[in-house]
Amino acid sequence: MNTPISVTEAEAEKYLEFLVDMCERNRCVWRIERPDGAAVILAPVVQSGPPIAQEVIDEVEEFRKNFMENLGVIDET
């Protein structure tokens, strides 16, 4: 694992697009520190397979809606 690079919350807000690009391209890990001392990590996530096509996502969503309707469950999403 790469050593996290520390930045302030203000820096992260100002340069978020750059941080995300570096995370993706160079596998950089960022530690974003808040003024109160809390921190979060911005890290790349390795995709385990190819992206799922929007058509497949739509079909799964339609199946889920039909399935829930057949069960008589009210879908609030």
Going by their DSSP bridges, the two strands 39-42 and 30-33 should be labelled as antiparallel
- pLDDT, residue 52, reads 85
CATH of region 5-71, choose from 3.40.1620.10, 1.10.3470.10, 3.30.420.310, 3.30.1330.80: 3.40.1620.10
pLDDT averages per 10-residue partition of the chain, 77 residues: 91 96 91 96 85 90 90 70
- pLDDT, residue 6, reads 97
- 9 Cβ neighbours under 8 A, 6+ residues apart: 32, 33, 34, 35
Task: Summarize pLDDT for 11-30 with one digit per residue, the tens.
Answer: 999 999 999 999 988 889 99
| H/E stretch holding 30 | strand 30-33
Torsion of CA 49, 50, 53, 56, to 10 degrees: -30
- pLDDT, residue 77, reads 60
What ranges do the domains of the chain cover? 5-71
> How many residues are there in the chain?
77
